[in-house]
Structure 1
Amino acid sequence: MKPNWQYLLLAFAMAVFCWYLTAGREKVDTWMPMRVEMTGAPEGLYIKNGLVSTVDVLVRGPKGVARKIEERQLVYTLDLGKIVPGENRIQFDPKNIPLPKVYEVVEIRPSRLELDVVARAVKTVPVKVVTRAATKDGYSMSGVRAVPETVRVSGPVAKLEKLTEIHTQPVNVPSPPPPHLDEQVSLDLPEEVDASPATVRVTMNLAAKESEVTLRAPLSLKPPRNRTVEVSPDVVTLRIKGPAAILSDKDFPGLVEATLELKPDIEPGKYVASYRVKMPQGCELIEAKPDKVGLTVK
C-alpha cells in the first residue's frame, strides 16, 4: 500500500504547530538594566542624596522573543514634580516601563527611591583672591583684583546663609615674580555649591619691597705718586635705600665702597673733598655723613 503523501504533509504541519504552541508559550525570566531619567524637578529644590542612574528589572516573557528585549534600551521617566524638602519616597510603577504587552514586569530593584531633598537658594557674593604666600620674600603685591569681582552662587539654603564670599584656588606666583600677573583661576567652591562663572581672571602687580640700611664704610683712595695723604674722617656713615632682598644679604656691606679720586698732580696742602659711593644696581644713597672729608696732602 502506497503512503498517502497528503496525510504525511498534514502530520508534519500539525507537529510544527504543536511545537510552536509549546515553545512559544514557554515563559522565561530575564534581568535587564533600565536607565532612569529625572524630569519635572521644582525650581529651588536640590536632591542631596538618593539619585540613581539605573535600576534592574526582572522581565518575564515568551522564550522565543526574550532576547529581543535585551537588545532594547529601556528608559524609566521618573516624575519629580511632587517632591518637597526633606525625605521623599518614590515608588517605581511597572506600568511606566515601556514594554510590549507580551512581557510582564516581575520585580524592580530597588523598588523605590528615597530622596533627601533640600531647599536651594541663589545669591551673589564677592570673590577673594588667595595666593600661595601672602607676600613673596622680598616682594610686595598691589592691585590684586578678580574679574568679575562677584559671582552668582547656588546651593542648599543652610550653606548659602553662612557664605559671605568665595575664595579662588591659590594663585601660584612664579619666582622671580613678573611685574604684572594675569591668570585665569578656578573658584574654591564648597560641596554642593555651584557658581556662575566657575572661573575668574586674577590680576596683580608685583614689585620688589624696598627698605633702608645704615652702615659705616671706610674711605679708600690711591695716593698720587710721591704724595702722602691723610683723610679725616677715614670712615663715613651711609644710609642706603634699595630692594629688601639685596639690602638684607649678608654680603651687601662688602659691595658698598666709598672712594676718593685725587688728581695725579695735586699739590701738598689741605683740602676739603667729596667722595663717591659705589653700590649695587637698584640701590640709592639717601644720606652720607659727612658728605665731605678733610685731606692733608704731603
Structure 2
Amino acid sequence: MIPYTPPKLSWPKDWFIKLLSLLFALFLWYFVSSEDRVDINVQIPVEIVNLPRDLIISNQYKTSLDITVSGPRGLIRKISPGITRSIDLSKATPGNMVIANEPDSISVPRGVTVLRITPTHITLSLDRLIKKTLAIKPISHGKLPEEYELKAITIQPETLDVTGPQDILGDETIIQTNPIDLSDITASTSKQISLDLKPEVAELIGASAVSAHIEINDKLIEKDLARIEISPTGLTPNLTAKLVPSRLNIRVLIPMVMAKKQSKTLGDLFSATVNLQDLPAGNHDIKPVINGPPEVTIQKISPESVGVMIQ
C-alpha cells in the first residue's frame, strides 16, 4: 500500500502584491465608511456632444444644472469642477426631445451619491440646418429737398449668406434695411445703414450693417428766357453787319437749384452769337449759337436763324 502524500500548496508569484492591494482596499473602505457624510449643492454645465452637422438646436435651453450630492467630507471637497451633464445627440432627428436628468447620467466619484437634480428634464428642439442667400432691400423715408430727385440707392453687399434653422429661414427671401432718411440729402452720398432684422434672425447673424450709396440728380425744370442779345463774331474788317432780329428767345432745361439762385439774373448766364467769318457783303441767314452753363440743355431757339445784312 502506497502511503498518502498531501499535495504541496503553490503560492502565486505576485501573492504579496495582491495581499497588499486587499489590505489597502480594506483600509480605504474603512476610512470612507467611517468619515462624516455631508450634502452640498453644486452647479454643473450641460454639455451637448455629437450633434449631427445637419441639425441645430433652435430653442433656448438650460445650460447648467443645480445638483445636490452626498458623500464623505473628504471626497466632497475634491469633487472636480470638470463634472458635466453630457447629452449625446448622435442619434437625434428633427423634432422635440425631452431628456430626463437621472442621477446615473452624472458621473461622480465612487462613494458620492447624486440626491437631487434641478431641472429634472431638458427639452431640446432640433431643426434642419440650412444656408440661404438673402437679398438686401433698401428702405427709405422722407423726401429729398424739392430741387433734387432720387436716381438710385445701391447696397453693398447686395446679399447676405445666413445659416440657421429651417423653421426660421425657410420663408425668408429678403432682409430690409432700417429706413434711410432722405430729407436732408443734397448731394450723392454713402452711409452705413443697419439691417431691420427679426429677433430670431438677429440671433443668428448678430448686429449687421451695410453700405448704402444714395445717388441723386438735380431736378430739371423748363424755363423760357426772352430777349437774349445776339452778338456777331468774325466780321471782316471795314464791313458792318445788321442783325434782324437782334435778340432771340430760348427755352432751356435747367437745374432747379440754379434757377432759384439766379432767378432775377438767369438771362445773364446765356449769350447768343452768329459767326460771320469770311462772309461777303450781302444778305445771309445764320443759325445762332447759344452759350451757357454745361448743366443746361437748350431745348428751343426762336427764331432758329437770324437775318444778317453785311455792307
- TM-score interval w.r.t. the shorter chain? 0.5 to 0.7
In structure 2, which of residues 140, 155, 162 is the aligned counterpart of residue 132 of structure 1?
140
Counterpart of 2:97 in structure 1: which amino acid? N
1:1-298 aligned within 5 A: 25-69=35-79, 72-125=81-134, 127-133=135-141, 136-137=144-145, 138-142=148-152, 144=154, 146-147=156-157, 149-168=158-177, 175-178=185-188, 181=190, 188-193=196-201, 202=211, 204=213, 206-216=215-225, 237-247=249-259, 249=260, 252-258=262-268, 282-290=295-303
Counterpart of 2:46 in structure 1: which amino acid? V
Structure 1 residue 33: Cα displacement: 0.9
Deviations 1:119-177 (A, max 9, x none): 4433444x234153598441433483544x54443334344442233345556788443
Gaps of 5+ in 1: 1-19, 221-231, 262-273
Number of corresponding residues? 248
Structure 1 residue 205: Cα displacement: 7.0
3-state SS of the aligned residue for 1:72?
coil
Distance 1:34-1:234 versus aligned 2 partners, 3 A rule = farther
Structure 1 residue 218: Cα displacement: 6.8
Counterpart of 1:108 in structure 2: which amino acid? I
CA contact (8 A) 1:61 1:102 kept: yes
> What TM-score do the two structures reach when normalised by structure 1?
0.60
Percent of pairs with identical residues:
24
> What TM-score do the two structures reach when normalised by structure 2?
0.58
Distance 1:245-1:131 versus aligned 2 partners, 3 A rule = farther
3-state SS of the aligned residue for 1:74?
coil
Structure 1 residue 77: Cα displacement: 1.7
Alignment RMSD = 4.8
Distance 1:84-1:21 versus aligned 2 partners, 3 A rule = closer
Distance 1:47 1:134 in 2: 41
Distance 1:54-1:233 versus aligned 2 partners, 3 A rule = farther
Counterpart of 2:163 in structure 1: which amino acid? S
3-state SS of the aligned residue for 2:76?
helix
Distance 1:94 1:129 in 2: 53
Where does residue 16 of structure 1 map in the other structure? none
Deviations 1:242-265 (A, max 9, x none): 334444x4x55224135999xxxx
Distance 1:50 1:178 in 2: 45
Distance 1:200 1:168 in 2: 8
CA contact (8 A) 1:128 1:168 kept: yes
Deviations 1:216-247 (A, max 9, x none): 55779xxxxxxxxxxx9999754222334444
CA contact (8 A) 1:156 1:192 kept: no
Counterpart of 1:30 in structure 2: which amino acid? I
CA contact (8 A) 1:217 1:256 kept: no
Distance 2:131 2:84 in 1: 32
Deviations 1:59-98 (A, max 9, x none): 11223453333x7343222112343333311012333423
